Chain A
């Protein structure tokens, strides 16, 4: 005759076993997830995180973005640049942000007018159309409309946006965001480099200067 194990212990084990077998798997999964979430909440997972404030730059302060170091200098309103054939449509004026740009990339960089301007974007203004890229980017010295910036050769450029006349006036405060992006490696499908989307790295507040019809700009 085999000796019977102690009745107490056996029934406790059996009962736990039976209970475990009767718990549906879904409950188990939910329970474990809830326990983990609860733990993370205890450790501060639900705490309010302070949003990182966007730094404000002074006009004339350089910001080293990924490819271009950009120094926004001034913002003004002007009727047009007839000599460069940059004229707004009737009822519009030009918003001009002047900046010095230095290329720190090992290859020439063309400042694009497609999408948000590489590096600068005015905030809170009525753009003449839905497209927020600059109408043109002009090399200050000679009025060239294709601004290709060579490595380590600083160039003063004018970013130009078309805005409805009357939407901005001289003396207005204008916030201009300085944008930056990250390098994500070689492109796989097309030829060239791959970058992340633009993000706001900081902003500059300008007091708008109204240059009227221009002539000096």
Chain B
């Protein structure tokens, strides 16, 4: 039998195949997963700063922790944990087809959503307007041992419009819950439309 392809061509073909496989492997392993592709786009900043996202602008003024809360509408919901009370001003920027649907505190890998138990006494799930902020409290129910644990030093406050925050801006602020003193009672004001 006569050899139709020269030896060096066979070796080159083999090497070429290996190169293509390596490239394919690198591409396959570095392609962003669906979760990464759809992830919220974080806008990071500090408490006290005004943060701008695509359709959300927010300023967090204060974070307090208390064993119980007396809300502006008279609601006083007991909890077996503690209340983390976040005072914030939130407005829309582009369209008022927006609610503060996503307000969470993340400690480690665990997230806590802003309670809707106080009903209209918080700005959780409030419809937002363009240019005129809602100013009021957000209340989060967290377990007491967590707030006084080390993980609470690196907690994160996350705010976004709509309850599905994927592929849209998410305002992210670090908050050190550990160093906030736990008060007996915190009183909150009713949310107001406009700056207080």
Contact = CB atoms under 8 A, between A and B. Distances in A.
Interface in B98-116: 109-113, 115-116
Given A139-B117, A142-B117, A153 B81 contact: yes
Nearest to B33: A186
Q: Is the interface of B mostly helix, strand, loop or mixed?
A: loop
Given A150-B141, A152-B146, A153-B142, A107 B77 contact: no
A152 B143 contact: yes
Interface in A130-176: 139, 141-142, 144, 146, 148, 150-155
Interface string B81-95: 100000000000000
B80 interface: yes
Contacts of A139: 77, 117
Given A108-B111, A155-B80, A191 B117 contact: no
A106 interface: yes
A72 B110 CA distance: 26
Contacts of A146: 116
A193 to B, nearest CB: 12
Interface residues of A, number: 17
Contacts of B111: 106-108, 151
Contacts of A148: 113, 115-116
A191 B116 contact: no
B110 A106 contact: yes
B110 A151 contact: yes
Contacts of B112: 108, 150-151
Contacts of B146: 152
Nearest to A155: B80
A157 to B, nearest CB: 12
B116 A153 contact: no
B185 to A, nearest CB: 16
B113 A106 contact: no
A155 B141 CA distance: 11
Contacts of B50: none
A191 B40 CA distance: 13
B110 A107 contact: yes
A144 B117 contact: yes
B79 interface: yes
Contacts of B76: 142
Given A153-B81, A155-B80, A191-B166, A142 B142 contact: no
B78 interface: yes
Given A139-B117, A144-B116, A148-B116, A153 B79 contact: yes
Given A108-B113, A144-B117, A153-B81, 9 more contacts: A107-B111, A139-B77, A142-B75, A144-B119, A150-B115, A151-B112, A152-B146, A153-B79, A191-B166
Interface of A: 106-108, 139, 141-142, 144, 146, 148, 150-155, 186, 191
